[in-house]
Chains A and B, each alone.
Chain A
Amino acid sequence: MALLSKEASLALVQQVHRLIGMKNGVAPHDAPRPRPQRNAPRPGAERFDVIVVGAGPAGSAAALVAARAGLKVLLLERGEYPGAKNVSGAAFYGSAILHDLIPNWWEQAPVERYLTRRVLAFMTAETSVAIDFRTTRFAEPPYNGFSILRPKFDRWFADQAVAAGAFLLNAAVVDEVLWEDDQVVGVRVRRDEGDLRADVVIACDGANSFLAKNAGLQREFHAHEMSLGVKEVLALDEAIIRERFHLHDNDGLAIEYIGAITEEVSGGGFLYTNRDSLSLGVIGQISSLAEHKRRPYELLETFKRHPAVAPLVRGGRVREYSAHIIPEAGWNMLPKLYTGGMLVAGDAAALCFVAGLYLEGINYAIQSGIAAGETAVAAHQERDFSARSLARYVERLRARHVITDFANYRHAPALVNSPRLQNLYPEIIAAGAEQVFRVNGGPKRKLLPIALEALRRAQVSPVHVLQDALQAGRSFGW
């Protein structure tokens, strides 16, 4: 199987548990780390204008932009092909962005369904209350979002960079960045004579970026800043999918689940429709997984058995299973985004937006990849690869609303992962809805008393509720 096998995923989970220390769920992040030794490239190393590490959405976008400007670009990927090891839901909400880069990209790219229906479901163990949004306006080009399967999509996207003139090298793992006088001047690949030179290195090597840490741009992470996603693709007949999810030909739906789905673990669930399969998974905050000693794949099984989910996945046969780390804490995790000769983009820069109803990484990866590519092109025009020159990357990210989104939503991750939002409010919403809809011969009751009674029963003081409401407002409202 192209993606991680179940065994490999379990091994990853165990490794994560070990890394963070099961006892307290806190990463030993404060331990001072010796600064890695800085090596220079060996003489005779081949030279490129730009080396992009990692052919995910961020890397392919950066390589495409730089290659189109006529630069000599090398795109290095550790997998046997781009996407071979990439995992994601995946609902891709960057259609308009990609449309700017490759007009009508959906006509040639391997997409599954365009998303016209989005559902946000609050769950308790037996109940679910959902907001169901559906619009035909998302069924018109350039569309709002698509469900995609990453192994196919990433391969196609990397091919676009190759068509623009980038040189793609698979089966090449980058082990370190190479330096000369406090300036990054290349990378070392894990092969004989593996040194390569470049004026600009763009690190797009995904979550928990080895390169950003190796270059001293990123700190070690706290366990509460990382989540582990486990995901399955279930094969299901196309006609059944259309019937079951009330879909027309090629439109699709994305459901995000909040609440008891992950039991006491902070996180959530998702389900997306593909052409003839479903992508579904759960995401659990690593610190709370550790604290409650829960294995993410157990949560996935619980999720699939939930009365609101079970009928949706009935008859689906597992086609692939995979696990991956997601940077979650947004703004607070952003590394230093550049140094002399180097830029960091995508998940490597922790530019993954995770906050309850949002799970968006691919669009920000592409945005930041484009910004990094443009910065490298501008640096080449001026022949200035110093940190001062590359600092304009941050302006470009701001212009593309990347930095601003993360800044505006900087309070959201903490709120979304708070126990009240994770469990209590979904509980209250579900219990309240039940009271509203239940007919048992008693008097019909109005909403406010029901809500107040539910809060009283849960022993939550109105002060807390007000605090959370303000916090939610600050996070999502204004």
Chain B
Amino acid sequence: MRIAVCLKQVPDPATVEVDPLTAALDTRRMLYIAGPADTAALELALRLAGPTGQVSALCVGPPAADAVLRMALAVGATEVRRLWVPPFLSLQAPAQTALLLAAGLQRATIPDLVLCGARSSDQGSGQAPALLAEFLDWPVVCDVTQIAMEGDRVRVQRRLDRGAREELEVRLPAVLAVEANLARLRHASLPGLMRAERASVPVSHLEDLGLEPADLAFPTASVRAVTPPRPRTRPIFTPDSTRPAHERITQIITAGVTRKSGKVLEGPPAQMADAVVEFLRERGFV
């Protein structure tokens, strides 16, 4: 079985330093890693592919992202590729990432399954997997919490709101975006680590992918200015000056917290309806 895993390089939270004077991120000592959802996807790929299968890892990112792909090689990925379009992608939009990934996948032997992390740990919009499936014209399941292979199909469980789950069956090839807690990445063996450290990571640029700059011209956000956050102002409670003194003192003591009071209407329906309308009119809603 051939599985491709898409990894995004995100800052290692342990190395993120905020300059205490300007509140800007100090990128000089920042190290890049793959986020927890992406490493879960990689671990699942290694397990599903088994010892004879092929696991290839792709990453859209600058040269520093090689570290992420080396990590994948160290734990057993059979092939890696970095995709990059400098300096066009300084602010990477999910659609651009997905298009590059799709092009990268189509250039090599098409895999049976593509696994992604459900959300990156920096921006976390979770769009790339769905957009990738769109470009490939494959089915996609996001927020996957369980995976079981059944021949050329895969049974997955998907997380819905409020603890609900949905079971689905998908025909391969497909894109699955898995949640972070699904699997924990194995430790690399020493020979694996050394092999990865010695490997050179192949890079594909636009022309290698058969793309033109215009293909990436999606509407994107652009950074105009970066300003340090201003401390949030805290509203100071002032008592209602129209109230008598003892009430104002009570207001100050309770810091203005009052219990919500409700009114329960009783009586015949018509009378109750009138009361509601009257209530709304009093407060200027109708």
Contacts and interface: CB of A to CB of B under 8 A. Distances in A.
Interface of A: 1-2, 46, 80-81, 151-152, 167, 169, 171-172, 189, 191-196, 235, 237, 317-319
B187 A2 contact: no
Interface string B1-37: 0000000000010110101110000001101000000
A169 B14 contact: no
B257 interface: no
B14 to A, nearest CB: 7
A237 B14 CA distance: 25
B87 interface: no
B223 interface: no
B194 interface: yes
B15 A2 contact: yes
Contact of A172 (B19, B21, B190, B198): B190
A278 to B, nearest CB: 13
A192 B12 CA distance: 24
B197 A167 contact: yes
B191 interface: yes
Contact of A318 (B20, B29, B188): B20
Given A2-B14, A80-B31, A317 B190 contact: no
B102 interface: no
B20 A319 contact: yes
Contacts of B194: 46, 167, 169
7 interchain residue pairs of minimum CB distance? A192-B189, A317-B20, A191-B190, A194-B190, A193-B189, A235-B20, A189-B190
B193 interface: yes
Interface string B25-52: 0001101000000000000000000000
B187 A191 contact: yes
A81 B14 CA distance: 13
Given A2-B14, A192-B187, A169 B21 contact: no
B188 A191 contact: yes
B193 A171 contact: yes
B29 A2 contact: yes
A46 B191 contact: yes
A73 to B, nearest CB: 13
Contact of A81 (B31, B190, B193): B31
B29 to A, nearest CB: 6
Contacts of A235: 19-21
A193 B74 CA distance: 13
A80 B11 CA distance: 13
12 contacts: A1-B14, A1-B17, A2-B14, A80-B12, A151-B29, A152-B28, A191-B187, A191-B189, A192-B189, A194-B190, A235-B21, A318-B20
A80 B14 CA distance: 11
Contacts of A318: 20
A1 B189 CA distance: 27
Contacts of B187: 191-192
Contacts of B190: 172, 189, 191-196
Given A1-B14, A2-B17, A318-B20, 7 more contacts: A81-B31, A151-B29, A152-B28, A172-B193, A235-B20, A317-B21, A319-B17
